[in-house]
């Protein structure tokens, strides 16, 4: 973990309520895709945890959805503004488990952390299939970005307004994958857990206090003991997950 | 630096700054960031007789200038604390640590304190009779003078280490509880634990926290803490450890003027992991600004 000051380079909307922010600063503690950063926002007490979408040199890319006060303030931030950011938080995805053919499943604002993951896997010469799930056409983002990386991309929409109609789990039976990686809302993670036939890694979300393991605010029970989503997570392996209900 | 030193129940502290229990784990997460030996000491994560997972999530809600938590004393239990956490801490912290203890019965408190009494690393026992997040324990002992006194007596009977009883602000008369603990043999009083609070999500109309209510902490509660530290310090002759919303070197000095011998810092650590290091670094300049030669001179110095 590192605390440092980042400078906003761009902050642009991708959809009605999803924004892409690029920042420059000391990214040396970001060591794995699936990690997150925790951002101090003026006027709010707690930092805001946002997953890392990409990290290249000193440039950090975050893609976030406006869901509350913190992300509303982020959406109005301007180029040149300085932000106090804790980096290198969470375990991130383990690339070594991927095998020859990785399946990446992202739902809504769970899509961003899969971008850096896809990039790293493709660099490792792993074949990557990405399924991006959204509710409707207007919510879709990053389809082209994943294609440019060289991933096989399928988009699903719940209402069928674009791509395949249905959920991310509707299209995976024909893909011959060796390991899966996913991030999205909990009902989706549960469905993915059930629908997948290989080992895999799932990234979870929880309300956090500190984001670095001190407050025990985001603990969960697993088959391998209690874990803090911010520290031993947010990525848990399929075999250890104990669903709350 | 000599001018920052204070004496807490017979043990000298290099400075009065103590990260509060529940905001600093068992220290080693913070030791990755800075040398935690620069702290006065710290109070480790509230420890109970048996391991506890704590409350369901969400356990955290944000407020203006603060937060609510309902962690519910998640900890690995005193045996694991002694076998695993304290040896890990020893590698990065060479001072005496404050052991924070909670329980659900008088026997629980006595058992846990007796185990920790045998550990050389432990300097003080901070006995928490004020956790708002567990039912049938914690705070129920701290809201009644005779129950608080009974816990104090039971703990004093099993330890030679200084016993500091940590009190709840969620009471009508905190002074009577502090006095009862002092009469029962407490070597110090620490206050305040969190204030009982609640938030409701307007969209779902449900409480934000799964446990409905939780402990409110952060700068918003600082004036309440100063007031209660002042009241208690004027009523007891044992040292008082002040806490509640402390975030700056100025806050430390204000708390000491109110009567605190040492000062715990809680929620601030969660927002700025370097908070305590920064406060300690800022103290000399702030002391100069207000004409303070030695911190020990200003304890209870409010006019």
- What is the SS3 assignment for A167? coil
Helix ranges, A90-227 (H): 112-123, 143-149, 186-195
B2-298 adopts what CATH topology? TIM Barrel (3.20.20)
Q: What is the mean pLDDT of chain A?
A: 97
B94 touches chain A (CB under 8 A): no
DSSP A190: H
For the stretch B149-159, what's the b/e string if a residue is b when 16 or more beta carbons lie within 10 angstroms of its beta carbon? Answer: bbbbbbbbebb
What pLDDT does A177 receive? 97
| All domains in chain A, ordered by first residue | 2-89 (2.40.30.10), 95-240 (3.40.50.80)
Q: Under a CB-based contact definition with an 8 Å cutoff, are residues B5 and B14 in contact? A: yes
Query: Distance (Å, rounded) from C-alpha B241 to C-alpha B262?
Result: 5
Min distance B218 CA to chain A CA atoms (Å): 8
What pLDDT does B131 receive? 76
Question: Can you state the percent helix, strand and coil of chain A, rounding each to 5?
Answer: 20, 35, 40
Q: Which residues contact B266 (CB under 8 A, 6 or more apart)?
A: B19, B20, B22, B23, B217, B243, B244, B245, B246
Which of B21, B59, B72, B197 should one mutate to test binding to chain A, selecting the residue with the greatest count of A CBs within 10 A? B59
Residues of chain B with C-beta less than 8 angstroms from the C-beta of A212: 29, 273
Please, which residues 179-208 of chain B have a Cβ atom closer than 8 Å to chain A?
none
Assigned token pair, B180: 């009862």
Section A77-85 average pLDDT: 98
Query: Distance (Å, rounded) from C-alpha A137 to C-alpha A140?
Result: 6
Inspect the interface and report whether the beta carbons of B66 and A213 lie closer than 8 Å: no
What pLDDT does B30 receive? 95
pLDDT in tens, A91-123: 999 999 999 999 999 999 999 999 999 999 999
Cα angle vertex B225, ends B126, B28, to 5°?
45
What pLDDT does B135 receive? 64
What pLDDT does B140 receive? 76
Give residue for tokens 């000399």: B284
Of B66, B71, B274, the CB nearest to A215: B71
Inspect the interface and report whether the beta carbons of B53 and A226 lie closer than 8 Å: yes
pTM confidence score: 0.95
pLDDT in tens, A32-70: 999 999 999 999 999 999 999 999 999 999 999 999 999
Known catalytic residue: B276? no
Each domain of chain B, given as residue ranges in start order, spans: 2-298
What pLDDT does B128 receive? 96
- Check the CA dihedral A52-A56-A58-A64 and report its sign: negative
- Alpha carbon separation from B204 to A94, B67, B201, B207 (Å, rounded): 36, 20, 6, 8
Residues of chain B with C-beta less than 8 angstroms from the C-beta of A85: none
The residue of chain A with its CA nearest to that of B21 is A215
**Chain A residues with at least one Cβ partner in B under 8 Å:** 1, 3, 40, 44-47, 86, 206-210, 212-221, 226, 231, 244
Q: What are phi and psi of A145, to 5 degrees?
A: -60, -40
What pLDDT does A244 receive? 79
Q: What are phi and psi of A128, to 5 degrees?
A: -125, 120
Strand ranges in chain A using DSSP code E only, listed in sequence order: 2-13, 18-24, 36-39, 48-51, 54-56, 59-65, 82-89, 101-107, 127-134, 152-157, 164-165, 179-183, 200-203, 219-222, 225-228, 235-237
Please, which residues 10-39 of chain B have a Cβ atom closer than 8 Å to chain A?
22-25, 29-30, 32-33
Residues of chain A with C-beta less than 8 angstroms from the C-beta of B30: 214
Residue B143 burial (CB count, 10 A): 18
Min distance B267 CA to chain A CA atoms (Å): 9
Q: What are phi and psi of A62, to 5 degrees?
A: -120, 135
Of B25, B267, B271, the CB nearest to A213: B25
- Per-residue 3-state assignment (H helix, E strand, C coil) for chain B: CHHHCEEECCEEECCCEEECCCCCCCCHHHHCCCCHHHCCCCECCCECCCCECCCCCCCEEEECCEEEECCCCCECCHHHHHHHHHHHHHCCCCCCEEEEECCCCHHHHHHHHHHHHCCCCEEEEEEECCCCCCCCCCHHHHCCHHHHHHHHHHHHCCCCCCEEEECCCCCCCHHHHHHHHHHCCCCEEEECCCEEEECECCCCCCECCCCCEEEEECHHHHHHHHHHHHHHHHHCCCCEEECCCCCCHHHHHHHHHHCCCEEEECCHHHHCCCHHHHHHHHHHHHHHHCCCCCHHHHCCCCC
Residues of chain B with C-beta less than 8 angstroms from the C-beta of A214: 23-25, 29-30, 269-270, 273
Residues of chain A with C-beta less than 8 angstroms from the C-beta of B221: none
Kind and range of the H or E element at A178?
A: none
Of A3, A214, A244, the CB nearest to B269: A214
Of A44, A207, A212, the CB nearest to B273: A212
What pLDDT does B1 receive? 82
pLDDT averaged over 10-residue windows placed end to end, chain B, 303 residues? 96 98 96 96 97 96 97 97 97 98 94 98 96 66 92 97 97 97 98 97 96 97 98 98 98 98 98 98 98 98 97
Inspect the interface and report whether the beta carbons of B271 and A206 lie closer than 8 Å: no
Q: Under a CB-based contact definition with an 8 Å cutoff, are residues B158 and B164 in contact? A: no
Query: Distance (Å, rounded) from C-alpha A224 to C-alpha B57?
Result: 18
Q: Under a CB-based contact definition with an 8 Å cutoff, are residues A71 and A48 in contact? A: yes
- Alpha carbon separation from A234 to A50, B134, B300 (Å, rounded): 11, 27, 46
What pLDDT does B137 receive? 55
Catalytic residue among B9, B113, B131, B276: B131
Of A3, A209, A213, the CB nearest to B29: A213
DSSP A142: S
């Amino acid at each position: 973990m590192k605390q440092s000051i980042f400078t906003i380079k761009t902050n642009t909307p991708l959809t009605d309520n999803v924004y892409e922010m690029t920042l420059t600063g000391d990214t040396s503690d970001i060591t794995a895709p699936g990690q997150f950063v925790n951002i101090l926002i003026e006027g709010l007490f707690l930092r805001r945890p946002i997953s890392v979408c990409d990290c290249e040199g000193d440039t950090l890319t975050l893609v976030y959805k406006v869901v509350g006060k913190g992300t509303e303030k982020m959406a109005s931030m301007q180029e040149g503004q300085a932000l106090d950011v804790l980096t290198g938080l969470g375990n991130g995805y383990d690339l070594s488990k991927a095998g020859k053919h990785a399946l990446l499943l992202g739902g809504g604002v769970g899509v961003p952390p899969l971008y850096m993951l896809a990039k790293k896997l493709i660099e490792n010469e792993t074949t990557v299939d990405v399924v991006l799930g959204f509710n409707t056409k207007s919510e879709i983002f990053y389809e082209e970005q994943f294609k440019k990386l060289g991933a096989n991309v399928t988009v699903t929409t719940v209402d069928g307004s674009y791509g395949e109609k249905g959920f991310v789990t509707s299209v995976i039976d024909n893909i011959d994958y060796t390991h899966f990686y996913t991030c999205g809302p909990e009902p989706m993670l549960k469905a993915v857990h059930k629908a997948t036939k290989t080992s895999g890694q799932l990234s979870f979300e929880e309300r956090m206090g500190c984001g670095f393991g001190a407050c025990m605010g985001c603990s969960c029970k697993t088959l391998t003991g209690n874990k803090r989503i911010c520290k031993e997570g947010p990525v848990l392996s399929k075999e250890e997950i104990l669903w709350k209900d | 630096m000599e001018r920052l030193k204070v004496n807490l129940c017979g043990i000298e502290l290099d400075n009065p700054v103590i990260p509060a229990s529940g905001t600093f784990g068992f220290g080693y997460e913070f030791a990755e960031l800075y040398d935690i030996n620069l702290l006065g000491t710290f109070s480790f994560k509230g420890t109970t007789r048996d391991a506890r997972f704590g409350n369901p999530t969400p356990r955290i809600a944000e407020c203006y200038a603060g937060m609510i938590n309902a962690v519910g004393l998640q900890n690995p239990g005193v045996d694991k604390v002694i076998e695993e956490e304290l040896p890990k801490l020893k590698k990065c912290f060479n001072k005496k640590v404050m052991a924070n203890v909670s329980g659900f019965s008088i026997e629980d408190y006595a058992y846990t304190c007796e185990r920790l009494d045998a550990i050389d690393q432990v300097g003080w026992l901070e006995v928490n009779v004020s956790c708002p997040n567990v039912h049938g324990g914690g705070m129920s002992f701290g809201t009644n003078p005779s129950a608080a006194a009974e816990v104090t007596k039971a703990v004093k009977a099993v330890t030679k280490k200084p016993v500091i009883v940590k009190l709840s602000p969620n009471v009508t008369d905190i002074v009577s509880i502090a006095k009862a603990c002092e009469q029962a043999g407490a070597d110090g009083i620490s206050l305040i634990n969190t204030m009982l609070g609640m938030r409701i999500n307007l969209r779902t109309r449900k409480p934000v926290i799964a446990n409905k209510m939780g402990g409110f902490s952060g700068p918003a509660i600082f004036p309440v803490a100063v007031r209660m530290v002042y009241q208690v310090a004027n009523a007891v002759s044992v040292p008082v450890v002040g806490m509640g919303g402390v975030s700056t070197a100025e806050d430390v000095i204000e708390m000491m003027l109110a009567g605190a011998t040492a000062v715990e810092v809680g929620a601030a650590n969660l927002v700025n992991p370097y908070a305590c290091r920064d406060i300690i670094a800022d103290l000399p300049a702030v002391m100069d600004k207000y004409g303070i030669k030695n911190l020990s001179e200003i304890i209870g110095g409010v006019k």
